Amino acid sequence: MPATVLPRLFITGTDTHVGKTYVAAGLVRAARAAGLDCVGFKPICCGDRDDADLLHAASDSALPLNEVNPVWFRAPAAPYAASMIENRQPDLALIEETFHRLCARHQSVIVEGAGGWRVPITRELAFSDLAARWNLPVLVVAANRLGALNHTLLTIESIQRAGLSSLAVILNESSPPDPETAPATATNAAILESLLQVPVFALGYNAPLTESAFAHWLLKNSAPAVPEG
């Protein structure tokens, strides 16, 4: 299948600091290196704006930073908590408008959530609801460490319960290998492959995603996803 069918997709994590932005930016770079008009989209940043800066750079500055990241809370907390701390609501209409504008202008849009799958944006809305509203296949990034099995299985279960497609799981070594947890990190991928009906890819510590098996697999085997609503 040709690379031109790289879909719009949603990248979530099993937790914060598992490497979502590393994977998202790497995937945007891989797509652009393959000749695709692909950009990154981080609807909400909390705390610093480093994630958006990395996606902006990966997109070759093809769009303004405020389109890569339309809503920014300075408080380093989940969006729902940050909105209460700063006494202002996230501009959901701006997020929606920006996403559809990017989809109209660019061949592929890689959307990155914040934290994990069910992180709340408001009392009524979580990042999982954005993925469902836009009908996006979901890529799960998990840190390849002790505890990854439970976190990953629960996340995939929730995605599938929402009626969405689980595109793949990336086990990312987000920190240097730890000899004490080596048995877990060495077996996580094989165990998840045996328990899940989705592809599982292991990404070594500081391994460039542009050269990974996952990037090549996605560019060759993905199908387009058309957002709804």
Burial class (CB in 10 A: 0-12, 13-18, 19+), 39: buried
Tell me whether residue 42 is one of the annotated catalytic residues: yes
Identified catalytic residue from 8, 29, 32, 42: 42
Give the contacts of 222 (CB within 8 A, at least 6 positions apart).
Answer: 1, 5, 6, 7, 9, 137, 167
Query: Could you list the active site residues?
Result: 42
